């Protein structure tokens, strides 16, 4: 019998977890597959870990890894991929925004059609602040234009995949992880399943607007080198422009005998170019910061507790 592993990153989800578990159990027990839950407690400050421990005492399908602190959803997903044993793996949020009821359909597609993974995307962003939707849409437009990795608008991390894909993800050991980019980068044949946005069942979102904004910038820097070339293009443009201006000034002085006045305009130009240089330096700085973190080779996560034999506690 084939086995499915459900990877569930949890950060302060004590309210949502029991609801999630009940719903997932309803779906999984009806399926003709072996299965396991792998809950990753991402350093929660509430009772999440005790809730998970309780599940695991009653149900042998429940495995868990508890981090020593909050490492973020990306690290939690990575820990999941490193420790699952199933033929299929799927990442799901603990708040039921990734409905388990879609799983049977996703499995059927993988079994009957030539695909390696079934990914999901939200077709609507119902229930989301308009400003957030606007920036999210812009983000997908920009990153798809400047990166050669395809990232689908509205794509969720909710994705069922075959073992080969899991192994490929684990083999990508970069520290600055951006899963939506990684999924696209490794390739494989992906079926896109659309569904209406569902609001979280309990608890609060862990993402403030600015956290999301920083995450989006991270995604761009991790999967595109285009911002780096901005500096060169600005530089080239400026040089061309100033050369033309120089010709104009020489022309006015020699032919029309008209001395060019105006220190104010000069100061403006100096400030403008100074700002531009700092901006470009900042972009380069962002990349250097990433390189710096990568070269440290720090682990992605550190686990403090687990009920899996031979769990990878530090990776
Ligand atoms: N999450 C996590 N670590 C974090 C933040 C979030 O493991 O630092 C988990 C969270 O428990 C949830 C999933 O990632 O299962 C998605 O988080 P959330 O629902 O807050 O994000 P949203 O759906 O609002 O984008
Ligand atoms: Mg959510």
For ligand 1, atom 8, the nearest C-alpha belongs to 72
Give the contacts of 99 (CB within 8 A, at least 6 positions apart): 23, 195, 198
Average pLDDT, integer, range 220-245: 86
Indicate if the pLDDT at residue 294 is higher than 70: yes
- Mean pLDDT, the chain, integer: 90
- Does ligand 1 have an atom closer than 6 angstroms to the CB of 207? yes
The sign of the CA dihedral 80, 82, 85, 91 is positive
- Does ligand 1 have an atom closer than 6 angstroms to the CB of 15? no
Average pLDDT, integer, range 123-142: 85
Confidence of residue 279 (pLDDT cuts 50, 70, 90): confident
State pLDDT tens for residues 147-185: 888 888 888 999 999 999 999 999 998 999 999 899 999
Question: Which pLDDT belongs to residue 81?
Answer: 96
Question: Which pLDDT belongs to residue 275?
Answer: 84
Indicate if the pLDDT at residue 80 is higher than 90: yes
92: its two tokens: 């799901």
Which ligand 1 atom sits nearest the alpha carbon of residue 77?
A: 7
Do the beta carbons of residue 1 and residue 33 sit within 8 Å? yes
Question: Which pLDDT belongs to residue 108?
Answer: 95
310 CA → ligand 1 middle, Å: 26
Q: Give the predicted TM-score (pTM) of the model.
A: 0.87
204 CA → ligand 1 middle, Å: 9
Question: Which pLDDT belongs to residue 223?
Answer: 87
- Does ligand 1 have an atom closer than 6 angstroms to the CB of 93? yes
214 CA → ligand 2 middle, Å: 18
Q: Give the pairing type, strands 62-67 and 117-122.
A: unpaired
Indicate if the pLDDT at residue 107 is higher than 90: yes
Q: Please, is 114 exposed, middle or buried when counting C-beta atoms within 10 Å of its C-beta (0-12, 13-18, 19+)?
A: exposed
26: its two tokens: 């309803």
Average pLDDT, integer, range 188-213: 88
Indicate if the pLDDT at residue 305 is higher than 80: yes
Q: Which range (54-58, 92-96, 244-248) has the least confidence? A: 244-248
Q: Which ligand is nearest to the CA of 206?
A: 1
Cα–Cα nearest to 150, from 219, 251, 98: 219
Question: Which pLDDT belongs to residue 260?
Answer: 64
Confidence of residue 5 (pLDDT cuts 50, 70, 90): very high
Q: Interior CA angle at 239 toward 233 and 244, to 5°?
A: 130
For the chain, what is the largest distance between any 2 Cα atoms, rounded to a whole number of angstroms?
94
State pLDDT tens for residues 259-269: 667 777 788 78
């Amino acid at each position: 019998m084939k086995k499915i592993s459900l990877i569930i990153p949890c950060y302060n989800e004590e309210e949502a977890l029991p609801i999630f578990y009940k719903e997932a159990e309803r779906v999984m027990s009806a399926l003709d597959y072996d299965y396991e839950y792998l809950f990753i407690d991402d350093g929660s400050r509430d009772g999440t870990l005790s809730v998970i421990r309780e599940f695991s005492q009653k149900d042998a399908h429940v495995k868990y890894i508890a981090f020593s602190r909050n490492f973020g959803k990306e690290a939690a997903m990575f820990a999941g991929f490193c420790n699952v044993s199933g033929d299929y793996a799927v990442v799901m949020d603990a708040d039921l925004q990734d409905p388990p009821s879609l799983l049977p359909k996703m499995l059927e597609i993988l079994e009957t059609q030539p695909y390696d993974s079934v990914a999901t995307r939200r077709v609507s962003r119902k229930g989301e602040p308009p400003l957030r939707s606007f920036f999210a849409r812009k983000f997908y437009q920009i990153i798809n234009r400047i990166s050669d990795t395809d990232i689908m608008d509205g794509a969720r991390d909710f994705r069922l995949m075959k073992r080969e894909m899991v192994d490929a993800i684990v083999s990508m050991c970069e520290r600055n992880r951006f899963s939506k980019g990684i999924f696209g980068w490794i390739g494989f044949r992906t079926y896109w399943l659309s569904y209406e946005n569902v609001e979280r069942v309990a608890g609060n979102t862990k993402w403030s607007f600015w956290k999301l904004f920083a995450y989006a910038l991270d995604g761009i820097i991790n999967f595109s080198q285009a911002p780096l070339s901005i500096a060169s293009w600005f530089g080239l443009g400026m040089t061309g422009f100033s050369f033309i201006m120089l010709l104009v000034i020489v022309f006015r002085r020699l032919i029309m005998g008209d001395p060019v006045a105006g220190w104010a305009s000069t100061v403006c130009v100096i400030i403008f170019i100074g700002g531009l240089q700092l901006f470009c330096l900042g972009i380069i700085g962002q990349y250097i910061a990433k390189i710096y973190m990568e070269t440290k080779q720090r682990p992605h996560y550190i686990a403090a507790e687990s009920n899996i034999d031979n769990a990878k506690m530090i990776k």
